[in-house]
Structure 1
């Protein structure tokens, strides 16, 4: 009987220790197809990659799709543990710890087909209005250029429609995300715009783990290790193919 009680006590301690380690992480992100959207297969590519990596690292995850401003604010306040798809900015290091890059996004400007706007430097774009999504970080040079006429909007779809209607001169978005979104716009929007040939930048995509979570450093390390293992065993590439990218 004594041996049984000791065994039960040991099992209880192990379960408590495991429970403290294998915590449930509250993840958040905005609708950003094809990377994140609850209407897509497994929530989109980014959602699938992040969920798979954290699950392989031993965590349980819950995901909320919310507007971007709410997601970033929630990470800052600690309501969410993980922002699944963040571009790096110094400002965000005040609220969270970035993982290593798990993907690269190519940012491109979009104009109306009837426009003769050319882009070789940001200075060339100073005369033009550019629709940007609120709270997004694009590139350090673009974000810090106070001479650019940035028009904050709620989403890329809004930006694309404003561009097609002539209410702004340009917008900017990740190439795959823009192509996906434009494919779901009305024909008069989709057929009236085009990409400029030169990219603004290539941005690394990270998870951002809230500093309010006391285990943020370990979560980031576990995620990075899991992504590296997925690349090594081929499951990373298989997820890209699964999502058609």
Structure 2
């Protein structure tokens, strides 16, 4: 009798955990994550679709990046929608397989003569970097690079255009999104350097303190594979203009 009660209680608790919506979180990073965009952006749309296919319900919150990662550690949120791998994040979260590759590139004024084969070639030049962002291990730890913190890429790009800085750095999709909108007036006066800084796989990050974190990751990975196979991924990509 007692054993039967324990078994029923266990199933009730597990069922309650599964029925609770997964709390997705991201900062504003258009075109990937932003409340102003269709279905909160491409990454949010893709991740939500995959998790719903796997049988989960989801809800979305948008907060600054530092608050998002801190909230994962304090169990205020369950999943960071878009994260690059770092050993620090891996301590408190489990990464999925990558669902996109971010190609990070430098931008300079048209007619500029800067190019590089290695980061040492850029020593002595002023580079706009978004406050709190990580771009690549080599870039982040190179203390000889003159990295100037800016609140966002748009500000950095305008500083490059005004010749206050030499370069700005950003994911290519993100840069092209802003160049077609807030920076449309100066778009033709800015150009990408040919060589990318890095190519970073993009993942979801599930808090390790969630009792089903491994199952969520496995289910998400399977769902994304199915979406690639049946054309859903390509359709989402097209829907968001990427």
- TM-score, length basis structure 2: 0.89
Partners of 1:78 and 1:211 within 8 A in 2 = no
Find the aligned partners of 2:193 and 2:224 in 1 and give their Cα distance.
33
Deviation at 1:114, TM superposition (A): 4.0
- 1:98 corresponds to 2:88: no
- Aligned partner of 2:211 in structure 1 is 214
- Residue 173 of structure 1 aligns to a residue whose secondary structure is strand
- Aligned partner of 2:239 in structure 1 is 242
CA RMSD of aligned residues (A): 2.1
Deviation at 1:13, TM superposition (A): 8.6
Deviates more, 1:193-202 or 1:151-160: 151-160
Deviates more, 1:160-169 or 1:99-108: 160-169
- Aligned partner of 1:27 in structure 2 is 24
Partners of 2:154 and 2:183 within 8 A in 1 = no
Find the aligned partners of 1:158 and 1:152 in 2 and give their Cα distance.
10
Which among 171, 176, 188 is matched to residue 173 of structure 2? 176
Partners of 2:39 and 2:45 within 8 A in 1 = yes
Partners of 2:24 and 2:58 within 8 A in 1 = yes
Which among 195, 199, 208 is matched to residue 202 of structure 1? 199
Find the aligned partners of 2:240 and 2:120 in 1 and give their Cα distance.
37
Deviation at 1:123, TM superposition (A): 0.5
Partners of 1:69 and 1:134 within 8 A in 2 = no
Instruction: Flag structure 1 segments of 5+ consecutive residues without an equivalent.
Output: 1-10
- TM-score, length basis structure 1: 0.88
Partners of 2:180 and 2:187 within 8 A in 1 = yes
- Aligned partner of 1:124 in structure 2 is 121
- Aligned partner of 1:4 in structure 2 is none
- Aligned partner of 1:138 in structure 2 is 135
Partners of 1:57 and 1:226 within 8 A in 2 = yes
- Residue 117 of structure 1 aligns to a residue whose secondary structure is coil
Which among 147, 150, 153 is matched to residue 153 of structure 1? 150
Deviation at 1:16, TM superposition (A): 5.7
Find the aligned partners of 1:240 and 1:187 in 2 and give their Cα distance.
22
